[in-house]
A = this chain, B = another copy of it.
């Protein structure tokens, strides 16, 4: 058995345990992880079905058939034609389980149009999210996956070292984002892991600000949040820098966040829980009187997806295990003024933790 057949086999065992009839994945990380093939999600229905027993199969547009066979020759394809639409092919492929499928698990990222068609084809079934079954397999990375994640992190670190030599003042956020992306691709990344965030001045107070046309000025706080892909696996790092001499409140906020991140990372080990790690970061920031400024979770898993399990968030009782990989990224935000965030990817080792990012976490001054 190759690694895909092995992964499918493990999922089918889980389906039997959980008495689920069928698991359906859509284009993206789950499809790539389980079948060896994926593509960008589009309005053309493309799904990979894993029944509890029997052979997995694709329902796919005819024009993908050659590519699926080239990348994933292990599984059958039910191909549909543009002129006919997917419904009949889907109904035929699902006919054997139309009466028997009671519980169907679906990829959380599946498009609603695909889900509505499956619901029509399997009117007796109940539908639930698939990740409880898939995440067990995806969360604990093997050696091959860990080395790809380490390489992706290292490329991001080096890109940051390179662009930190630039004169920031006068560049637009988007120009800086582009420079980071080019440095990562030059460093042999396959591409970026997500849209590079560069948030300068008051924009840095918006946790999800994207790079825009604002020009960086002296005195600005600049948050850089970016990552790349290697072999499909992502990196994700955030550093907060200052263009010129930092104001005292910026320096103080950065120290609180960097220290909170340090404490949270140090607490990572097998047996700790996701919510404990979140609470340690949150407690450190609250102790400095900035609790209300930390308005997001502490972190998220990283792998084939840049956001995946385990989520490092209050209320997540998940116990950390060796091989899990996630970000630790506390931040504080002062609307209209500035924000600070510091983020690294870490891996749970057999007894403690290892950072995949090596770039300094000290407050950096750029030109």
Contact = CB atoms under 8 A, between A and B. Distances in A.
A178 interface: yes
Interface in A89-143: 106-116, 119, 127-129
Interface stretch (A2-10, A202-210, A215-223, A357-365): A202-210
B335 A66 contact: yes
A82 to B, nearest CB: 4
Contact of A112 (B64, B67, B108, B205): B108
Given A84-B315, A315-B83, A63 B295 contact: yes
A307 interface: yes
Interface string A39-79: 11011000000000000000000111011000000000000
Contacts of A106: 112, 116
A239 B357 CA distance: 42
Given A64-B208, A112-B108, A115-B115, A307 B195 contact: no
B116 A307 contact: no
Contacts of A208: 39, 63-64, 67
A330 B347 CA distance: 49
A62 B66 CA distance: 44
Total identical chains? 2
A297 interface: yes
A185 interface: yes
Chain A, interface size: which category? Answer: 35 or more
Identify whether the interface residues of A are mostly helix, strand, loop, or mixed: loop
A85 interface: yes
Contacts of A108: 43, 111-113
A208 B66 CA distance: 10
B178 A185 contact: yes
A83 B313 contact: yes
A94 to B, nearest CB: 16
Nearest to A213: B190
Contacts of A111: 108-112
Nearest to A308: B43
Contacts of A206: 66-67
Nearest to A64: B208
Interface string A182-195: 00010000000011
A314 B85 CA distance: 10
23 contacts: A26-B112, A43-B109, A63-B208, A63-B295, A64-B208, A66-B205, A82-B296, A82-B313, A83-B297, A84-B315, A106-B112, A107-B112, A108-B111, A109-B112, A110-B112, A112-B112, A112-B114, A112-B115, A112-B129, A113-B129, A115-B115, A116-B128, A116-B129
**Closest A-B pairs by Cβ, 10 of them:** A83-B314, A108-B113, A110-B112, A82-B297, A112-B115, A63-B207, A63-B296, A106-B112, A63-B295, A82-B313
Given A108-B113, A116-B127, 11 more contacts: A42-B307, A63-B207, A63-B296, A67-B208, A83-B314, A107-B112, A108-B111, A111-B111, A111-B112, A112-B114, A112-B115
